[in-house]
Amino acid sequence: MTSAQHTLTVDLGDRSYPIYIGSGLLQQPDLLYQHITGQQVMVVTNNTIAPLYLQTLLDGLQSLQISGLQVDSLVLEDGEQHKHLDTVSLIFDHLLQQRHNRTTTLIALGGGVIGDMTGYAAAAYQRGVNFIQIPTTLLSQVDSSVGGKTGVNHPLGKNMIGAFHQPQCVIIDTHSLQTLPARELSAGLAEVIKYGLIAEPDFFTWLEQNIHQLRQLAPHLISQAIYQSCACKARIVAADEREQGQRALLNFGHTFGHAIETEMGYGNWLHGEAVGAGMAMAADLSCRLGWISYQQVQRIQSLLQASGLPLWGPDQMHVDSYLAHMQVDKKVIDGTIRLILLQQLGEAIVTSDFGNDLLQKTLNQPLVV
C-alpha cells in the first residue's frame, strides 16, 4: 500500500515503471524496497541534500530489518560544475570498494545532476544495473528523473556523453520542495511551463492563473503541476523512448539554453534559468516566422517573468557565441542547426526552416522584453 497522492506509469512494455507523487514518501521505506533488486543498495546524494534527507532514507531501510541487506551511501559535491566523468568515477570507485555486484540497486537522492550521474553510473557499472530516482528539486521531479536520459557534461557541450537507462521507479516526495531555495524553484517552473507550450495549451492557461500560488508551494496546486508535467512526459517517452522523433520536442528552449550554460560556465546559470531564456528566444523566432502572434509572445514572457525567470540571455553573450555553441548540439544533423519552435501555443515542431537572418535577429533584437 502507498499513500502516494498520484501514481503514473511510464509505459515501456517489460521496462515500464511507476512514478509516485505525494508528500512524505521518503518516510515510506516499503514503497522504496519493493523496487530494490538483490541484497545491495548504494545511495548517491550530494552535500546539500545529505544533511536534509539521507539519514531519513537510511533509517527507513534499516527499519525494514531485511536480513543481509547491505546499504552504502556516497556524498558528492553539489553543483552542475561537478557533472563530469571524474565525478562518475567516484561512484564506480565506491561500488567496487564496497564490492557491489550486478544485482545491486543504485538510488539517486537529489536533483538533476545527481540523477543524471547516478543513472549513467548504473548504465555502465557491470554493463548495467538497476537504479531508482528520488528527485528532490522541482526541475528533477518534473523532467530529468523521468525518461531514462542519463549522462554528464563535457567542456565543449552539455549532456553530450550519456546513455538511455530507465529507472525501476521514480519517487517524488513533494515535501522536499519545502527546503528548495526560491531560485531553484523558479528554475523548475521553466520545465513545467515547457509542457504547456509544446503540448498542453489548457495547462499553460492554468499556470497563468495559478503561478503566484505555485511559487508559494500551495500543496494541492504544486502536486497537480508535477502530475500534469510527468503525465505529459510519460506519454512522450512511451511513444519515442530514444528520441527519434516526438521526444525531441521536450528540448524546447534547450538549444539556446545549453549554449548559455556552456558559455557562462556550468552552474553559473541554473539549467532552468537558461531554458527559460531559451524558450523566450524560441517564442521570439516562432513569431518572426509568423507562426505565433506578438500577443502570444507577450503571454509567454509574462508567465516566465511571473515565475522569476530571466527573459533573455546574458548581456555579455553575443550572436557568434550562441551560434558556435548551438552547432555542438545533439539535434544538429550534417552541420544544420535544428530548433524546436511553436506553430501555435501547445503545438511544437522540430525544424531547420527558419533562416539564419531571422535567427540572428532573434539573438540580437528581441521583440518583447
**What are the chain's domains?**
6-179 (3.40.50.1970), 201-364 (1.20.1090.10)
CB of 223 within 8 A of CB of 174?
Answer: yes
The H or E element spanning position 105 is: strand 105-110
Predicted local confidence at residue 363, as pLDDT: 94
Residue 20, CA distances (Å) to 124, 170, 288 in order: 26, 6, 41
Contact 337, 330 (CB under 8 A): no
In the chain, the DSSP E strands lie at 6-10, 17-22, 40-46, 70-76, 105-110, 130-135, 149-154, 157-164, 170-173, 339-344, 347-351
3-state SS assignment for residue 175: helix
Q: Decide: 153 and 80 in contact? Cβ < 8 Å.
A: yes
Please list the helix, strand and coil fractions of the chain in percent, rounded to the nearest 5, in that order. 50, 20, 30
Active site residues: 127, 149, 191, 233, 243, 247, 251, 254, 258, 271
Sheet holding 70-76, edge to edge: 6-10, 17-22, 170-173, 130-135, 105-110, 40-46, 70-76
SS3 of residue 352 by DSSP: coil
The grid cell for 173 is 516526495
Q: What is the grid cell recorded at 50?
A: 545529505
Point out which residues pair with 10 in neighbouring strands.
Answer: 17
How far, CA to CA in Å, does 58 sit from each of 54, 73, 83, 130, 233? 6, 9, 24, 18, 30
Beta-strand relationship, 347-351 and 339-344: antiparallel
Q: What global pTM score does this model have?
A: 0.94
**Per-residue confidence (pLDDT) for residue 266, from 0 to 100:** 92
- List the pLDDT tens digit at each of the 369 positions of the chain: 446 789 999 999 999 999 999 999 999 999 999 999 999 999 999 999 999 999 999 999 999 999 999 999 999 999 999 999 999 999 999 999 999 999 999 999 999 999 999 999 999 999 999 999 999 999 999 999 999 999 999 998 889 999 999 999 999 999 999 999 999 999 999 999 999 999 999 999 999 999 999 999 999 999 999 999 999 999 999 999 998 889 999 999 999 999 999 999 999 999 999 999 999 999 999 999 999 999 999 999 999 999 999 999 999 999 999 999 999 877 787 678 999 999 999 999 999 999 899 999 999 977 875
